[in-house]
């Protein structure tokens, strides 16, 4: 029988993990910024509370300056290791989200393929194993940088914990570790959902991505009521998915090359797009 970890144990484990990763950074300016601004949120804390194995540690940052430093640093490391970074760069942008609010974000633009490296979420691919160094970039998408040794650096969202958590769709993941101060912040509803293995949908700016996440959590033993599913469906029904800029934005966190290919094909079509065309296109592109 597996026992869950106490907050003291979680704090110790996450402190050690962040420090070990930070010590792998050779640029002292980046290292100092990381130690000051790093926060761990999401599934890793949930897994530790439940006594489950941790798949990866999602690291967020409190300031755009640190996100920028981290993104540029690992793009440099990737280019040094691979010899080619595909012209990727960190881009600062402000866009209007589906609520009409202006949202500041940083994304990594990869002009060639849209992504760099090997996607660790693709079951048909394996990570490179010929690099003995720890915490090396293995996959870079528009939204995140995946390192070896279970670290994923989220570049798209940043801010203080409450600000970042506004982007979280399911309640059970809304616990936080703040490295500067070594604090674990637990949410009452998150704990209730973890104990009952229940998905509670709080609404999201990205409800399409929530469908993928819902499937992932169901595979891990969570359950979701018809009412909670309807909340996701209702939000999606309010979106105009024929707007390709909106569709592309809605696929945040869904780092599939197939979906990038889908967007490209839809962009090249001159006539109107309907559900039949999209369905046939998906059947052709997805394996």
Q: Which two tokens stand for residue 82?
A: 């691979």
Nearest to 165 by CA among 137, 204, 220, 213: 204
In a domain, 140, yes or no: yes
For residue 262, what pLDDT is reported?
Answer: 76
In a domain, 287, yes or no: no
Q: Give the mean model confidence (pLDDT) for residues 22-40.
A: 97
Total domains present in the chain: 1
pTM: predicted TM-score of the whole model, two decimal places? 0.83
Confidence class of residue 249 from pLDDT cuts 50, 70 and 90? confident
Whether residue 69 is predicted with pLDDT greater than 70 in this model: the reply is yes
* 14 vs 141, higher pLDDT: 14
For residue 126, what pLDDT is reported?
Answer: 36
For residue 6, what pLDDT is reported?
Answer: 95
Distance CA(272)–CA(75), nearest Å, equals 38
Q: Which two tokens stand for residue 231?
A: 């909340």
For residue 85, what pLDDT is reported?
Answer: 66
Instruction: Specify which of 12-21, 73-82, 133-142 reaches the highest per-range mean pLDDT.
Output: 12-21
Q: Do residues 99 and 107 make contact, with C-beta atoms less than 8 angstroms apart?
A: no
Find the angle CA(261)-CA(210)-CA(123) to the nearest 5 degrees: 55
Confidence class of residue 123 from pLDDT cuts 50, 70 and 90? very low
* 116 vs 23, higher pLDDT: 23
Percent of the chain at pLDDT above 90?
51
Distance CA(77)–CA(25), nearest Å, equals 10
Whether residue 118 is predicted with pLDDT greater than 70 in this model: the reply is no
In a domain, 76, yes or no: yes
Which residues span the domain enclosing 60? Answer: 7-206
Whether residue 198 is predicted with pLDDT greater than 80 in this model: the reply is yes
Whether residue 112 is predicted with pLDDT greater than 60 in this model: the reply is no
In a domain, 248, yes or no: no
């Amino acid at each position: 029988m597996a026992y869950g970890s106490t907050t003291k144990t979680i704090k110790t484990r996450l402190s050690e993990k962040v420090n070990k990763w930070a010590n792998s950074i050779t640029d002292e300016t980046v290292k100092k910024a990381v130690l000051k601004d790093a926060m761990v949120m999401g599934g890793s804390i949930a897994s530790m509370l439940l006594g489950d194995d941790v798949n990866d540690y999602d690291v967020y940052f409190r300031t755009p300056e640190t996100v920028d430093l981290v993104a540029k640093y690992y793009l440099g490391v990737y280019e040094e290791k691979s010899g080619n970074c595909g012209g990727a760069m960190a881009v600062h942008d402000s866009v209007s989200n589906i609520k009409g609010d202006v949202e500041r974000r940083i994304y990594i633009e990869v002009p060639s393929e849209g992504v760099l490296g090997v996607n660790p979420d693709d079951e048909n691919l394996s990570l490179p194993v010929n690099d003995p160094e720890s915490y090396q970039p293995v996959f870079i998408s528009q939204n995140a940088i995946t390192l070896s040794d279970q670290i994923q650096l989220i570049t798209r969202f940043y801010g203080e914990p409450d600000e970042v958590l506004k982007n979280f769709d399911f309640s059970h993941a809304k616990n936080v570790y703040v490295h500067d101060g070594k604090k674990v912040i637990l949410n009452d509803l998150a704990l209730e959902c973890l104990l009952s293995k229940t998905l509670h949908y709080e609404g999201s700016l990205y409800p399409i991505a929530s469908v993928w996440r819902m499937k992932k959590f169901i595979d891990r033993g969570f359950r979701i009521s018809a009412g909670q599913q309807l909340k996701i469906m209702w939000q999606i029904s309010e979106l105009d998915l024929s707007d390709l800029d909106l569709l592309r934005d809605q696929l945040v966190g869904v780092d599939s090359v197939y979906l990038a290919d889908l967007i490209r094909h839809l962009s090249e079509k001159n006539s109107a797009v309907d559900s039949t065309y999209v369905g046939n296109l998906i059947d052709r592109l997805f394996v």
